[in-house]
Every structure is written in C-alpha cells, then in structure tokens.
C-alpha cells in the first residue's frame, strides 16, 4: 500500500548546526511532497513543498531534496534555532494527503 | 486574519458517551478535511467536504463516526459510543482550493476516552 516513513524518530542538534531529516516513500505515483512542522499543542504547519519533476527546492533556511530513484525525501534546516524544535512530518499528495510518522527535532542551546 | 479554530481543545469522555467536535474553517474556504492523529503518529485522513457535500468519507474508522457541514462552513465531527481506541487528537484543515493542496490546519481537539 501507500506509505511514507521516516528513518529517524528523534534528532538532537546543537543550536547553529545544520539539521537533516529524512523520509522514505513507497508510492511512485505521488507527484507532490510536503514537509510540515508541528509544535506541541498545534496543528501541522506547512514548511516547503516539492513536485516530483524537481530534485531540489530552497526556501528560507530550508531545503528539500527529492531522490526519485531511491524514493527518498529530505529536509535540511540551516543554522538550526531553538524555535525549530518540533516534530517534522513528510507527506505526499496522492488524491488525499498522506503523512509519515514524524521526526522529533530537539535543538540544544 | 483568523485561522482554523477548533473546539473544545480538550475533551474527556467516559467510554460509551457521545462527543461532538467543532471546526470553524477559514472564512470562504470551500474544502474542509478531518484527520485523526494518534500519539506519536502522523495525522490520518478521515473525511473531506467540498462546501456542504461530503465527497470522501473513506477514512472514517467505523459507523460510529459521523461528520457534517450543513451550510458549507462550520463542520462537526461526531463520535458515538466512544471507545478507548478513539483517544487521539482530531485535526481539522481547510483550503480555498477544491483539491487537497494548501491545507491550513487548526490546533486540534485532544479526545481522551476513559
């Protein structure tokens, strides 16, 4: 079936370091991938998206990389800040939005 | 402007009770989605409305779950005869689009069934 999974459930980084959060997917038909950030007690917040005809997209301090050959998606956060501490979900759009399990990012000051 | 709001934010129900969860979408948004999020998991799709029409209810886990959006704005998710496995955060999202893109999420209602 369709699924989106994450390699690491938790990630702890030092403030100022770069963070990389990974995600694997199994549905080859997906054409749109999204990263969400979810802080405690809040709903998911859109960070960045990428279409399947792209392999890289950059935003403000964030970069998403898509490797369709190995069905792998990653989110890179530059100069991680304490405010980046949250759970990050990858998701793909295949008619409906399908989320992965999530990675908890903890930023140490 | 105002985002998606949900009420109550927290609900404790005894097993067997009925509950009703409310979602106020962003004004003018035609699409409304409900998700269930178990602890430590990603949100899972429950149902989708386009205006007042429920176009997809394939994610509702049982016939104890019922959702409505009678006037195409506010939506209510009702769970009858709650069971412990219904304990989760219920998220609502809305979009100005008629597909699943650009969804804005509310803060969720945390339901605990004791």
What pLDDT is recorded for position A27? Answer: 73
Please enumerate in sequence order all residues whose Cβ is within 8 A of that of A83, keeping only pairs 6 or more positions apart, or say none: A107
Whether B3 shows a pLDDT value over 50: the answer reads yes
Q: What average pLDDT does this structure show over B60-71? A: 97
Please enumerate in sequence order all residues whose Cβ is within 8 A of that of A37, keeping only pairs 6 or more positions apart, or say none: A44, A45, A47, A84, A86, A87, A88
Burial A3-28 (b: 16+ CB within 10 A, else e): ebebeeeebebeeeeebebbbbbeee
Residues of A in contact with B43 (CB under 8 A): 44, 89, 97, 99
A93 touches chain B (CB under 8 A): yes
Average pLDDT over all residues of chain B: 96
B105 touches chain A (CB under 8 A): yes
| DSSP category for residue B25 | P
B23, B42, B97: best mutation site toward chain A, by most A Cβ within 10 Å?
Answer: B42
Percent of chain B residues topping a pLDDT of 70 = 99
Distance CA B38, CA B42 (A): 7
**A43–B91: do the CB atoms touch at under 8 Å?**
yes
Whether A6 shows a pLDDT value over 60: the answer reads no
Taking only the tens place, the pLDDT of each residue in A8-36 is 489 999 999 999 999 988 876 778 999 99
- Min distance A90 CA to chain B CA atoms (Å): 9
Distance CA A5, CA A25 (A): 6
Q: How many CB pairs (< 8 A) connect A and B?
A: 47
Out of B41, B45, B108, name the one closest to residue A96 (CB).
Answer: B45
What pLDDT is recorded for position A8? Answer: 47
Q: Report the sign of the C-alpha dihedral through residues B20, B23, B28, B32, in that order.
A: negative
Whether A3 shows a pLDDT value over 60: the answer reads no
What pLDDT is recorded for position A49? Answer: 94
Nearest CA among A30, A13, A28 for reference residue A75: A13
Cα separation values, B106 from A20, A44, B18, Å: 27, 8, 22
Taking only the tens place, the pLDDT of each residue in A43-57 is 999 999 999 999 999
């Amino acid at each position: 079936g369709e699924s989106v999974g994450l390699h690491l459930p938790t990630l702890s980084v030092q403030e100022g370091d770069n963070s990389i959060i990974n995600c694997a997917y199994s549905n080859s038909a997906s054409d749109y991938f999204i990263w969400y950030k979810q802080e405690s007690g809040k709903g998911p917040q859109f960070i960045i998206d990428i279409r399947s005809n792209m392999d890289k997209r950059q935003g403000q301090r964030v970069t998403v990389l898509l490797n369709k050959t190995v069905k792998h998606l990653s989110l890179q956060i530059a100069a991680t800040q304490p405010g980046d501490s949250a759970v990050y979900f990858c998701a793909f759009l295949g008619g409906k939005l399908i989320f992965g399990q999530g990675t908890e990012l903890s930023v140490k000051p | 402007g105002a985002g998606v709001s949900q009420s109550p934010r927290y609900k404790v129900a005894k097993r067997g009770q009925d509950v009703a969860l409310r979602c106020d979408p962003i004004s003018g948004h035609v699409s409304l989605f409900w998700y269930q999020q178990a602890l430590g998991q990603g949100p899972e799709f429950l149902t989708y409305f386009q205006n007042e029409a429920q176009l997809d209810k394939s994610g509702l886990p049982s016939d104890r779950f019922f959702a409505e959006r009678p006037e195409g704005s506010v939506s209510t998710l009702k769970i009858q005869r709650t069971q412990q496995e219904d304990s989760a955060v219920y998220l609502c999202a809305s979009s100005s689009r008629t597909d699943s893109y650009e969804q804005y999420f509310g803060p969720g209602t945390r339901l605990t069934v004791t």
